[in-house]
Amino acid sequence: MTENQSKVNENNQCNVCNTVTPFIKELCQTYLPQKDNLISMLNEVQEKFGYIPVEAQKGLSEYLQIPMAEIYGVITFYSRFTLEPKGKYTISVCLGTACFVKGSQKIMDRLTQKLGIEAGQTTEDGLFSIDETRCVGACGLAPVFTVNGEVHGRATVKMLDEVIDQLLAEEKASQ
């Protein structure tokens, strides 16, 4: 890592610190310092930042009087919580039974092939993340995939290609 890059990284991290700490403070005002509030608070952090920054873990640890190791244990247990930042677009393919029976594995295969990453990973440019989800409840539209929560139903490989190509084109245009 060159000196410049490390400086950039430091700056980025500080940006996160700057937003995480006030957010945690705010959160502590809405929740009582009871241990059973941990998961609800983590859900809010995940929702806000797309992952759970270590600063947030520290903040919650102090407020709720729970050791960091235990918080780490909880975060890694639940699939909704992640420790790494997600890409700008999170594409989730439903691998619930109803979608699986209708061929969602093919959609997932195409997606990992097209983006060159596995489920749970993020592309190097930070643009795309792939998730596998179990049932978003839109079984009537199976198979489905979602892009940042927006559902694309009765999905085909072709439709997936079009959606990704369009996002790439939009990104290119905005640069």
Partner 1 sequence: MKTLEEIHQIRTQKRKELELRTNAKADTREKHILVCHGTGCTSSKSPQIIENFRAILAEKGITHVRVIQTGCFGLCAKGPIVIIRPEDTFYSNVKPEDCEEIIQTHILEGNRVERLLCKDVDGSKVNRLDELAFYQKQERRALKNCGLIDPENIDEYIAFDGYLALERILREGISPEEVIDIIKKSGLRGRGGAGFPTGKKWELTKINEADQKYVVCNADEGDPGAFMDRSILEGDPHAVLEAMIIAGYAIGATKGFIYVRAEYPIAVHRFQIAINQAREYGILGKEILESHFDFDVEIRLGAGAFVCGEETALLESIEGKRGQPRVKPPYPAEKGLWGKPTLINNVETLANIAQIILKGPEWFSSIGTEGSKGTKVFALGGNVNNIGLVEVPMGTTLREIVYDIGGGIPGGRDFKAAQTGGPSGGCIPKEHLDIPIDYESIKTIGSMMGSGGLIVMDDTKCMVSLAKFYLEFTVSESCGKCTPCRIGTKRMLELLEKLCSGEGTELDLYKLEKLAINIQKSSICGLGQSAPNPVISTMKYFREEFREHAIAKECKTAECKALAKITIDPEKCKGCGLCQKGCPVQAIDGEAREKRVINQDKCIKCGTCLVSCPFHAIS
Catalog residues that contact partner 1 under the rule CB under 8 A.
Answer: 34-40, 42-43, 46, 66, 73-74, 77-81, 95-102, 133-142, 144, 151, 153
- Beta strand 150-152 with 145-147 is antiparallel
73 or 126: CB nearest partner 1: 73
Of 127 and 147, nearer to partner 1 (C-beta) is 147
**Contact present, 82 and 51 (Cβ < 8 Å):** yes
Q: How far is the CB of 26 from partner 1 (least distance, A)?
A: 18
Q: Least CB distance from residue 22 to partner 1, whole Å?
A: 23
Given the complex with partner 1, which of 81 and 127 has the nearer CB atom? Answer: 81
The CB-of-6 to partner 1 minimum distance in angstroms stands at 34
DSSP assigned state of 2: -
Measured between alpha carbons, how far is 164 from 115 in angstroms, rounded to an integer?
9
The burial of 54, by beta-carbon neighbours within 10 Å (0-12 exposed, 13-18 middle, 19 or more buried), is given as middle
Nearer to partner 1, 34 or 175 (CB): 34
What whole-number distance in Å separates Cα of residue 16 and Cα of residue 142? 38
Residues whose CB is less than 8 angstroms from the CB of residue 83 and which lie 6 or more positions away in sequence, other chains included: 51, 52, 75, 76
Of 103 and 127, which CB lies nearer to partner 1 in the complex structure? Answer: 103
Least distance (Å) between residue 133 CB and partner 1: 7
CB 139 to partner 1: min, Å: 4
Give the largest CA-CA distance in the chain: 53
